[in-house]
Chains A and B, each alone.
Chain A
Amino acid sequence: MNFPYSLWSKLILLAALLAFPALDMPFYAELVAKTLLFGLFAMSLGLLVGYTGLASLGHAAYFGIATYVVALMTPGYEAASFWLTFPAAVLISAASALVVGLFVLRTKGIYFIMVTLAFAQMAFYLFHDTALGGGSDGIYLNARPDATLFGSKLIDLDKPLHLYYLIVLVLVLGYLFLQRILQSPFGRVLAGIKSNEHRMRSMGYPTFRYKLAAFTIAGGIAGAAGYLYAVLFGFITPELLSWHHSADVLLMVILGGMGSLGGAFAGAVAFIAMQEIFSSFTKHWQLVMGVVIVVVVLFLPGGLVAIPRRARAAFFGGASDE
């Protein structure tokens, strides 16, 4: 009765992802890779929104900062080292989140949402209006990072296949990392903070520090996703830090269902799939997208991952077991 649907479905998904390049559809492989890294991005926000109850409308800043880090560390046409740039990007994103978190975590509710937005906008204007990263025109990553290890070029990021598997790997590692955190005592405290922060504080937990840790970790993982984005597409603009982008990833999390990492991932897949499919049918695809979103909110509280549960409940009758 306790058949691990969840584990098996994840393993099947992983197998499918690993096998996909065999189909030799380079355009779609790139699309899948993009979906995976946005899935990672969405999961990082899921940690904040779904588990800790912190709705951030400025999460794209940490994604964007990482893209600029790798681009600025690759001046001209010479490739920088992957082993240097990747940790640098993740750490700098996490550090930015830490600094911002020190300020924003003092506020709550709608005010928290707005202050996260404010700091993200500051980062946006920093890249948009100053000469730091080519201004509003953006900059190119002219050479993909070099992943030479001990002299051997085993992993060559210029080969789409290698890059694809790297993205899959980072996604899996990120997911496992987040899972471990959430199932650990640390994660329990986060859940407690979400449900009743007062109570946690009165029990002696330094809730501010826990929230800050979650905020920082989420920022770092967003940075990892951003780094992969930069390497995949090679073109970086300040729009990556815009509030539209932050709203998009928040939508992915809410759409998919806020209570689980899988939900965030599903939301990312659904969002990108909708964009692709709708835009190939009509140039007014945003209208269709908007309608779908409105319908989902009105009739599907709990997001997309709640569908199987609700379908089962509707089909088999009786109360759903949650």
Chain B
Amino acid sequence: MKSHCFPGKKIVNHLVMAALLAAPALAAAQQAKLKVGLMMSYTGTFSGPSNAATNGFKQFVNENGGKLGGREVEYFAVDDQADPAKATENANKLIKRDRVDVVVGAIHSGVALALAKVARETNTLMVVPNAAADELTGVLCAPNIFRVSFSSWQPAYAMGQHVGKKHKNAVTLTWKYAAGLQMVEGFKEGFEKKGGKVAKEMTLPFPNVEFQAFLTEIASIKPEAVYVFFAGAGAAKFVRDYAAAGLNKSIPLYAPGFLTDGTLEAMGDAGQGLLTTLHYADGINNPKNAAFRLGYVKAYKAEPDVYAVQGYDAAQLLDAGIGAVKGDTAKRADLVKAMEDAKIDSPRGAFTFTKAHNPIQDIYLRKVEGRENRLVEVTSKALADPARGCRM
């Protein structure tokens, strides 16, 4: 019988041809899963922030159907134990053993610096969800390294400007390590720009908490303000000692947000009314924040914090970049460009990136009320880290 052209035959032929031609393209689109390596401090004192950041990250991915940029996500996690000495090994677990496509880490600055070194050597894409070391988007900046949190300089400079509006001299005190020294440098810069003068910069070896000598010194200098950087148990002890020495009645105390993040319970009443600066606060009023907080509480039965926001935004950034290259992470140059140009609709407020890949964001002034750091005002709008030493 003649194939009287069952009229659709040609069409079927064409369809089959099309399918055969499309198959490779389809296969390419049906890509392998996106391997996301999470390197954070899941044990030890940074476990809270690490879990929060991971939760935030996963929350976005889940809201997006389990995908980033159209590709399904497969997680690999390594606990870096906040130990910089083991960081290179741990980084290699993700990069060389698990061969991840992108590393999201770290929370601890020392670990992040070691991780960044490995990322640069292996040209692995890296998104920093917390670590504040200025170098990451400064001297050590690289096309494949992005940060969605903040640099030490940002809240410090903002606080310096704020204090400079009201006071003319101040004294600083912090631990003698990179994070502390950067926080003080940033403050000094902002403060001096407003005409203030830092009368004395004091340090003590990390992690000493014997503050009495310094409190006595402050009492004898009688500055108009005191700016400190401490975190964790040390922060709680300092604030309590400051109050116990009676200094909080006469000399106002200022600090970046980490003095009062996670330490309010340990500080008790001594911490009430403290003013700090950070890129997030309780009471930020925008729809994204409301939706984010609702979703987080529903998924994890706990209130989100700045770390959760940063994790969420890390996922947003990757989604923007990978989506722009349609999931083809091999197109590294295009991927990076898309990430550089991304505008992140963050719960903290929308932000973009500097050339060195650090967020240009609003810094908020917060006040401790009860167990919260309540938003007072925006103390610096769209503050960009100067990225000193970056050669990009």
Interface pair B87/A28, CB less than 8 Å apart: no
Of the candidates A27, A135, A235, A284, the one whose C-beta lies within 8 Å of that of B114 is A235
Separation of A156 and B92 alpha carbons in the complex (Å) = 21
User: Is there an interface contact between B205 and A129, defined as CB atoms closer than 8 Å?
Assistant: yes
Nearest chain A residue, comparing its CB with the CB of B110: A137
B-contact bits for A97-114, CB 8 A (1 contact / 0 none): 000000000000000000
Are A235 and B85 neighbours in the complex by a CB distance under 8 Å?
yes
Q: Does A184 contact B (CB under 8 A)?
A: no
Contact check, B84 vs A237: say whether CB atoms are below 8 A apart: yes
Interface centre among A128, A137, A239, A240 (most CB of B within 10 A): A137
Task: Judge whether B89 and A137 touch: CB under 8 Å.
Answer: no
Question: 0/1 per residue, A128-140, Cβ < 8 Å to B?
Answer: 1100000111101
CB pair A137 B177 closer than 8 Å? yes
- Residues B85 and A27 in contact, CB atoms below 8 Å apart: no
With CB as the reference atom, state the residue of chain A lying closest to B179: A137
| B93 CB contacts on chain A under 8 angstroms | 27
Complex: A236 Cα to B42 Cα, angstroms:
23
CA distance in complex: A25, B178 (Å): 36
In the complex, which residue of chain B has the Cβ closest to the Cβ of A160?
A: B96
In whole angstroms, how far apart are the Cα atoms of A234 and B206 in the complex?
A: 23
Our pick among B79, B84, B177 for the contact of A235 (Cβ within 8 Å) is B84
Q: Per-residue 0/1 for A273-288: is the Cβ within 8 Å of any B Cβ (1 yes, 0 no)?
A: 0000001000110000
In chain A, what residue has the closest Cβ to B95? Answer: A27
Given A234-B117, A283-B42, A136-B177 contact (CB < 8 Å)? yes
Q: Is A26 an interface residue (CB 8 A)?
A: yes
Complexed CA–CA distance, A237 and B108 (Å): 15
Structural contact, A135 and B176, CB atoms closer than 8 A: yes
Q: Name the contact of A234 in the complex, choosing from B88, B97, B177, B178 (C-beta under 8 A).
A: B88
Q: Which of A129, A135, A138 contacts B85 (CB 8 A)?
A: A138
Nearest chain-B residue to A284 (Cβ)?
B43
**Interchain CB contact under 8 A, A279 and B205:** no
A233 at the interface (CB under 8 A from B): yes
Cα distance A129–B84 in the bound complex, in angstroms: 17
Nearest CB in chain A: distance from B203 CB, A: 10
- Indicate which residue in A25, A236, A283 contacts B79 across the interface (CB closer than 8 Å): A283
Are A137 and B85 neighbours in the complex by a CB distance under 8 Å?
no
A34 within 8 A of B: yes
Output the nearest chain A residue to B204 by Cβ-Cβ distance: A129
Closest to A234 in B: B88
**CB-defined contacts of B117 to chain A, threshold 8 Å:** 140, 234-235
Q: Is A30 an interface position by the 8 A CB rule? A: yes
**Residue in B83, B88, B205 whose CB lies within 8 Å of A128:** B205
B85 touches A237 (CB 8 A): yes
Q: How far is the CA of A240 from the CA of B177 in the complex (A)?
A: 17
Complexed CA–CA distance, A233 and B92 (Å)? 10
A31 nearest CB neighbor, chain B only: B89
CB-CB under 8 A from A236, the residues of chain B are 85
Q: Which of A128, A135, A233 touches B89 (beta carbons < 8 Å)?
A: A233
Chain B's nearest CB lies how many Å from the CB of A118? 18
From 242 to 296 in chain B, residues with beta carbon under 8 angstroms from any chain A beta carbon are: none
Interface residues in B69-112 by Cβ distance below 8 A to A read 79, 83-85, 87-89, 92-93, 96-97, 110
Q: A138-B85, A235-B114, A283-B42 are in contact. Are A26 and B177 (CB under 8 A)?
A: no
Known: A129-B205, A283-B42. A27 touches B88 (CB 8 A): no
Distance in Å: Cβ of A43 to nearest Cβ of chain B: 22
A135: contacting residue among B43, B92, B177, CB under 8 A: B177
Instruction: Tell me the total A-B contact number using a CB cutoff of 8 A.
Output: 54
Question: Considering the complex, which residues of chain B in the window 199-252 have a beta carbon less than 8 Å from any beta carbon of chain A?
Answer: 205-206
Which B residues touch A233, using CB under 8 A? 85, 88-89
Q: Which residues of B contact A279 (CB under 8 A)?
A: 79
Residues of chain A within 8 A (CB-CB) of B178 are 137
Q: Which residues of B contact A28 (CB under 8 A)?
A: 97
Q: Across the interface, which residues of A come within 8 angstroms of B85, CB to CB?
A: 138, 233, 235-237, 239-240
Q: Which residues of B contact A237 (CB under 8 A)?
A: 84-85, 110
Closest to A34 in B: B89
- Measured CB to CB, the closest approach of chain B to A159, in angstroms, equals 13
Question: Judging by beta carbons under 8 Å apart, are B205 and A136 in contact?
Answer: yes
Q: How far apart are the CA atoms of A129 and B176 in the complex, in Å? A: 8
Residues of A within 8 A of B92 (CB): 27, 30
Within 8 A of B (CB), among A140-190: 140
| Residues of B with C-beta under 8 A to A240 | 85
- Please determine whether A235 and B206 come into contact, CB atoms closer than 8 angstroms: no
B87 to chain A: closest CB distance in Å? 7
Given the complex, which residues of B lie within 8 Å of A138, measured CB to CB?
Answer: 84-85, 110
CB distance from A44 to the nearest CB of B (A): 20
From A27, A279, A283, name the one whose CB has the most chain B CB atoms within 10 angstroms: A27
Q: In the complex, which residues of chain B have a beta carbon less than 8 angstroms from the beta carbon of A283?
A: 42-43, 79
Q: Which residues of B contact A129 (CB under 8 A)?
A: 176, 205
Contact of A30 among B42, B43, B89 (CB under 8 A): B89
How far is A135 from B88 in the complex, measured between Cα atoms in Å?
19
Determine how close the nearest CB of chain B comes to the CB of A116; give it in whole angstroms. 22
Separation of A136 and B117 alpha carbons in the complex (Å): 19
| Closest CB in chain B relative to A177 CB, distance in Å | 28
User: Whole-angstrom distance between the alpha carbons of A34 and B43 in the complex?
Assistant: 23
- Binary CB contact string for chain A from 228 to 260 against chain B (1 if under 8 A, 0 otherwise): 000001111101100000000000000000000
Task: Return the chain B residue nearest A128 by Cβ.
Answer: B205
CB-defined contacts of B97 to chain A, threshold 8 Å:
25, 27-28
List B contacts of A128 (CB < 8 A). 205
A26→B110 CA distance, assembly (Å): 24
What's the Cα separation between A234 and B97 when bound, in Å? 19
The answer to whether B87 touches A235 (Cβ under 8 A) is yes
Digit string of B155-190 for contact with A (CB within 8 Å is 1, else 0)?
Answer: 000000000000000000000111000000000000
Chain A residues within an 8 Å CB radius of B42? 283
In Å, the complex CA distance between A25 and B92 comes to: 12
Residues in B neighbouring A140, C-beta threshold 8 A: 117
Chosen A-B contacts, 13 in total, with CB atoms closer than 8 Å, are A30-B89, A30-B96, A129-B176, A129-B205, A135-B206, A136-B177, A137-B178, A233-B85, A234-B88, A235-B84, A237-B85, A279-B79, A283-B43
Beyond A233-B88, A235-B84, A236-B85, list 4 extra A-B contacts (CB 8 Å). A30-B92, A138-B84, A237-B110, A240-B85
Top 8 closest pairs, chain A to chain B, by CB:
A27-B97, A27-B96, A129-B205, A237-B85, A137-B178, A233-B88, A136-B206, A136-B177
